[in-house]
Structure 1
Amino acid sequence: MEFARRHGEVVQLLVTTIEQVNALPERSRDRSLRYIPALWAAIMQPKANWVDNGRPASGIIGEDTLDHLEACADIISGNLVGSAAAPRGADLQEMSDQSHEWLTLLQDMDEQEIPGPVKDALISQIEHLIWLIENAELFGGARVSAEANRVIGSLAQASATMENANPETVSRWKKSWIAFIAICVAFNAGAPVVQESITSGTEIVKEITGVVNDVGRPE
């Protein structure tokens, strides 16, 4: 099970890498895309067996392809630094703490406040984010940042289902949401969670809330 989970993350890393390469300037993009089939073959092993003990790890992928992958990572970092693709931050403790607080908040909510399937899906997503944070040295900060962004989007959608939540829960939700966005903004920028990050998070929340409130309104 653990191998399947980790392998799935590596496949996701390939998908993310393709997206990042496509965001590069044309010359770097075209040169890097030529190596994608070799990376896919190394990850998927379509002509070999993962449990074959007679195959050394050195036979999975050539050193020249690995060198190019590392060079590609340097180009991505140089062009996309400060974004979710190449976050500057290294300390994930605050994001981990906030993620655990979200788990507690969601687990304390009942069916009347948030639909069960929505709640269960959010808990699963946040638990996955925590797992990625715990394995950041293996999968990298960019995967953590991307998953955190996905969680933010899911929380935004879930906000529209909380019509029957009590005011205290709504207030706690909003404060946690702003704090979580601020932490993600700060992590991407490689900065401490300062007032500027919180302000940015507040503005993003206002924009998202405005969109959510507009959904379903007659034109």
Structure 2
Amino acid sequence: MTYSNENTAAHHLHTLLAQVRVANGTIAEAWAGALDTEWGTHEFARRHSEVVSLLQMTIRQLSALPERSRIRCERHVSAWWTAVMQPVVNWMDTNRSPLSVIDEDKLDHLESTAELISGNLAGSDAAPRGGDLHEMTQRCEEWIELLTSMGDEEIEGPIRDQLISQLRHLIWLAGHAGIFGGARVAEEASTVIGSLARTGATLVNMQEGSQTGWKKALLALVAACVVFNTAAPIFQESITAGAGFAREIANVVHDAQANE
């Protein structure tokens, strides 16, 4: 599966809000349709929370734009937040059309903001250029197998469980990239890599086989992320945390980019 620069959080937030706005039924039904799940369920809450993450990412990325563009875009943030949250509206009100969630001009400004972010931040984790999410998913599955195989004497159970939870969430996001986009996947991948590198740098009782597997798995996941997110500097956190891997990580990044 390949993605273009039209892959920012703002692009996918715009797409979801546009789908909600033109839907029939209540606002709740419109959101359920856009998120392809049932209103009122755990899965709905999970997916809508990711919409909030898209909004959060968009707001944060505005600070990376040139000042005039940033100021112009920030004027519309409140309208985008209101569209996502609808804080003073009954989502089940049959007399309120989803068309009311956001004005068309505010939606257009969101799309323009997405294009600005894509143009200014292309190649970063804010606007990934494309790649193979299947490979990233495979590497995450291998990580889960490695962590599951390690005993409590090597890694404390709560730490292992938290890392597995992060990896599973990354796999879930990759599987729902059509809804939430590659930028959300790239951001979560950065967090996961940082967590794995920091943990690997602090564990002192790993057996030799586990140490070798940890190192190999980290480099493989980095390589998969580079393929997906060409040239993105999402590895700084992991390089800092696991200084012993820095040269090898740099070599993996270089080789992956050279083969594209």
Distance 1:29 1:205 in 2: 29
Are residues 35 and 109 of structure 1, via their aligned partners in 2, closer, same or farther at CA, if it must alter by over 3 Å?
Answer: same
Number of matched residues? 204
Question: Out of 206, 209, 212, which is 2:242 matched to?
Answer: 209
Task: Show the counterpart of 2:5.
Answer: none
Q: Give the AA of the match of 1:95.
A: M
Correspondent of 1:139 among 172, 180, 195: 180
Distance 1:143 1:84 in 2: 8
Match of 2:110 in 1: 69
TM-score w.r.t. length of structure 2: 0.73
Paired residue for 2:203?
162
CA offsets 1:51-83 (integer angstroms, 9 cap, x no match) = 334433222112211111111111101100000
Cα 1:49–1:17 change in 2 (3 A) is same
State the alpha-carbon separation in 2 of the partners of residues 48 and 190 from structure 1.
Answer: 43
Find the partner of 2:100 among 59, 65, 79. 59
Is structure 2 residue 151 aligned with structure 1 residue 126? no
TM-score (norm 1): 0.86
Deviation larger for 120-129 or 160-169: 160-169
Q: Percent identity?
A: 52
Q: CA 1:211 to 1:32, structure 2 compared with 1: closer, same or farther past 3 Å?
A: farther
**Structure 2 spans left out of the alignment, 5+ residues:** 1-41, 246-260
Report the CA distance between 1:164 and its aligned residue: 1.0
Range with greater deviation from structure 2 (86-95 or 117-126): 86-95
The amino acid across from 1:184 in the alignment is C
The residue identity in structure 2 corresponding to 1:210 is: A
Which amino acid letter does the alignment assign opposite residue 136 of structure 2? M
Instruction: Measure how far apart 1:107 and its partner are.
Output: 1.1
Contact between 2:195 and 2:238, CA under 8 Å: does it hold in 1?
A: no
The code of the aligned residue for 1:122 comes to L
Which of structure 1's runs of 4+ aligned residues deviate more than 4 A? Answer: 203-207
Is the alpha carbon distance of 1:8 and 1:113 closer, same or farther for their aligned partners in structure 2, counting shifts above 3 Å? same
Distance 2:238 2:116 in 1: 32
Q: Which has the higher contact order (CA 8 A, sep 6+)?
A: 2
1:16 alignment counterpart: 57
Distance 1:107 1:53 in 2: 49
How big is the alpha-carbon RMSD for the aligned residues of Structure 1 and Structure 2?
Answer: 2.4
Alpha-carbon spacing, 1:152–1:45, altered in 2? closer, same or farther (3 Å): same
Answer whether contact 2:136 2:224 (CA < 8 A) is retained. yes
Inter-partner Cα distance in structure 1 for 2:82 and 2:239: 44
Aligned to 2:155: 114
Matched, 1:178 2:219: yes
Matching residue of 1:50: 91
